[in-house]
Structure 1
Amino acid sequence: MLKIAYHPIFVLPLPKGHRFPMEKYELIPQQLLHEGICTQENFFEPKFPDEANIFAVHDKHYVEALKDQTLSPREARKIGLPLSKRLIEREFIISQGTIKAAEYALKYGVAMNVAGGTHHAYSNMGEGFCMFNDQAVAARWLQKNELAEQILIVDLDVHQGNGTAEIFAGDPSVFTFSMHGKNNYPFKKERSDLDIELENGTGDEEYLRILKNTLPKLIDRVKPDFIFYLSGVDILATDKLGKLDCTQAGCKERDRFVLQTCHDLKIPVEVSMGGGYSPQIRNIVDAHANTFRLAKEIFF
């Protein structure tokens, strides 16, 4: 059964005109239910996590400053969201959603988090709409509980997973792979285990050629027993924060290739949604929904 983390707290009001499309987290489940791709049985509501799982990745002083809302103005500005107790609670619950989705992926082959993909969160600071790094937290949880040893993080958001790279720098048990826009945020990038930088205007043909030439060889080299996939849809040509030129069809083929590869190699995969900032919300929702549609088609 396809299991999907969704919690009403994923959808919080932001100031009018804010560029972060919070409403997509409510519209994606509605679309999947409308199409009959999912029923309510497919969704689960994550709870507040054991904070020890957060501290396994994030500096305790940083976590406490977030909870107490005592970050400096500069630290808060880097996050880019108006901080509140509800927003910080949301970040905790997103991380627990990815932990639980990873657990379900071990059972069913794949599981999803409607939110997550908070890859700009460093061990000791947040930035770029990210406060806790949900896939890093779940990776450490898997290892702590001896449910996985060698982990591969496949980050195909248009922005480099700089926080993920920092967290796992020098750790051979978690291989970080980021394929992203060369000239896009973050402008000061970290070093992942493998970074592939794409020029502005990269379209479907080149994007898919590079991915299909890279991922199977990388899996053969790393030999992961678990994969985290960050499936940001900000690679679309319509995205206002991206600089690539991929179509909806190309983005869907990207997801198909990653998920089919995991399925064929029998490697469990957890999927977090990541970014998507097209002006038309329907483009964001449809591109994200394709990821869920394909997971259902390929695995079940």
Structure 2
Amino acid sequence: MSRLYFDIREDQWPLVYHDKYNVSFCGFEKFHVFDSKKWGNIVQILKDANFISVDCLVKPNEANEDDLLIVHTKKYLKSLKWSTNVAIIAEVPIMSCVPNVFVQRAYLKPMRLQTGGSILAGKLALERGWAINIGGGFHHCSSTKGGGFCPYADITLLIKFLVMYRSVQNVMIVDLDAHQGNGYERDFLGVPEVYIMDMYNKYIYPKDEKAKGAIRRKIELNNRVEDLEYMVKLRQNLKAALKEFKPDILVYNAGTDILDDDPLGHMHISDIGIIKRDEFVFEMCKAHKIPIVMLTSGGYLRKTARIIANSIVNLKNKNLIGNEPRNFAERTPETRE
């Protein structure tokens, strides 16, 4: 059994977070489009609202080389020992001039912790019916190549670990980040047990035609799409997807870069639109008795942290998450209809 998998206390929620998720890089992170403190800000907002305490959070272990080799090639992991390669993935050119030992500690270690968090959240979702990694969702990284701020293939790893250690057979990925999830798509090309529904802006990065071959339900959106069109397409397609395929677990990549004014997503979804989006996905999983694991993924405005925190509170208020395990979560994938 992997050290990344461990049991949590009954009073803990399957909210996975480590205070070392956040990236601090000699102040250079302030010049990057990504809010490198987003994950900590989400947790702080939830604490300030008395929604959670430190004790109720689950602290993951860092994914080590042996864990990563379950998906990644040795050649790829070795490439991360060169700062220039990491700088290209992180899109921080100055990083290429920094000794790799510091790059490992300041940037890649937080990413390995978030990867460990995604893997653990998969296990907890099966046990509790839901789990949220307040981080992760590195959907542009495949087994052999990183990109788009994504150095590790945490979604592929999450699924591979479930197959190896939890006898999971069928998985659905619902990717609602503004960008196509080309990393895990390349990893799961020709794998019928993984059903991918990807809803993204077709005019922005990465435009990976080969990876699109893995998508079973592709919803390509235009620039400046607004709430009504977005929600209609989401409702129609997720309902149809769940008629076509019955997963043992649903991996929800809940990027907030669909938000109006996000510098990279180029979509016009409102704060409430994101909250209603998350609510609908969780509602569908509850109605179909499917465990769900949520990853926070992309989102490049400072205000997205509060939107994510508000969405988590809303899920609790709507009884879609909570401390009580769902009665179906203890059933094995083999017995779940």
| TM bucket normalised to smaller | over 0.9
The Cα shift of 1:143 comes to 0.4
Q: For residues 14-35 of structure 1, give each alpha carbon's deviation from its aligned partner in whole angstroms, at most 9, with x where no partner exists.
A: 4031111011111100101111
1:299 to 282, 305, 321: 321
Structure 2 residue 60 is matched with structure 1 residue 46? yes
Equivalent position of 1:8 in the other structure: 19
Structure 2: how far apart are the matches of 1:110 and 1:164?
21
Instruction: Give the 3-state SS of the residue equivalent to 2:141 in structure 1.
Output: coil
If the length of structure 1 is used for normalisation, what is the TM-score?
Answer: 0.92
Give the letter aligned to residue 77 of structure 1.
I
Note if contact 2:13-2:58 (Cα within 8 Å) is conserved in structure 1.
Answer: no
The Cα shift of 1:74 comes to 5.8
Equivalent position of 2:191 in the other structure: 171
Note if contact 2:141-2:147 (Cα within 8 Å) is conserved in structure 1.
Answer: yes
Note if contact 2:140-2:150 (Cα within 8 Å) is conserved in structure 1.
Answer: yes
Across the aligned residues of Structure 1 and Structure 2, the Cα RMSD in angstroms comes to 1.7
Structure 2: how far apart are the matches of 1:209 and 1:19?
30
The Cα shift of 1:75 comes to 6.7
Structure 2 residue 132 is matched with structure 1 residue 112? yes
1:227 to 245, 250, 254: 250
Instruction: Give the 3-state SS of the residue equivalent to 1:299 in structure 2.
Output: coil
Structure 2: how far apart are the matches of 1:223 and 1:172?
12
Note if contact 1:75-1:125 (Cα within 8 Å) is conserved in structure 2.
Answer: no
The Cα shift of 1:147 comes to 3.6
If the length of structure 2 is used for normalisation, what is the TM-score?
Answer: 0.83
1:149 to 163, 166, 169: 169
Q: For residues 112-152 of structure 1, give each alpha carbon's deviation from its aligned partner in whole angstroms, at most 9, with x where no partner exists.
A: 11110100002111101001121210110000113411000
Instruction: Give the 3-state SS of the residue equivalent to 2:166 in structure 1.
Output: coil
2:267 to 244, 257, 270: 244
Equivalent position of 1:37 in the other structure: 51
Q: 1:195 to 1:75 in 2, by over 3 A?
A: farther
Equivalent position of 2:287 in the other structure: 264
Equivalent position of 2:8 in the other structure: none
The Cα shift of 1:296 comes to 2.4
The Cα shift of 1:182 comes to 1.0
Instruction: Give the 3-state SS of the residue equivalent to 2:311 in structure 1.
Output: helix
Structure 2: how far apart are the matches of 1:187 and 1:207?
20
Note if contact 1:236-1:248 (Cα within 8 Å) is conserved in structure 2.
Answer: yes
Equivalent position of 1:20 in the other structure: 34
Choose 222-231 or 235-244, whichever is displaced more.
Answer: 235-244
Note if contact 1:37-1:296 (Cα within 8 Å) is conserved in structure 2.
Answer: no
Equivalent position of 2:325 in the other structure: none
Structure 2: how far apart are the matches of 1:7 and 1:131?
18
Note if contact 2:217-2:237 (Cα within 8 Å) is conserved in structure 1.
Answer: no
Structure 2: how far apart are the matches of 1:224 and 1:145?
17
2:217 to 189, 194, 202: 194
2:307 to 287, 292, 296: 287
Instruction: Give the 3-state SS of the residue equivalent to 1:212 in structure 2.
Output: helix
Choose 284-293 or 231-240, whichever is displaced more.
Answer: 284-293
Structure 2: how far apart are the matches of 1:272 and 1:18?
21
Q: For residues 148-184 of structure 1, give each alpha carbon's deviation from its aligned partner in whole angstroms, at most 9, with x where no partner exists.
A: 1100011000011010110111111111221000111
Give the letter aligned to residue 139 of structure 1.
I
Note if contact 2:89-2:150 (Cα within 8 Å) is conserved in structure 1.
Answer: no
Count residues in correspondence. Answer: 294
Structure 2 matches for 1:30-109, cutoff 5 A? 30-49=44-63, 51-66=65-80, 69-70=81-82, 73=84, 76-81=87-92, 82=95, 84-86=103-105, 87-109=107-129
Structure 2 residue 288 is matched with structure 1 residue 276? no
Q: Structure 1: where are the runs of 5+ without partners?
A: none
Note if contact 2:139-2:153 (Cα within 8 Å) is conserved in structure 1.
Answer: yes
Q: For residues 53-109 of structure 1, give each alpha carbon's deviation from its aligned partner in whole angstroms, at most 9, with x where no partner exists.
A: 32222112111332xx136x4674144243711222222221111111111111211
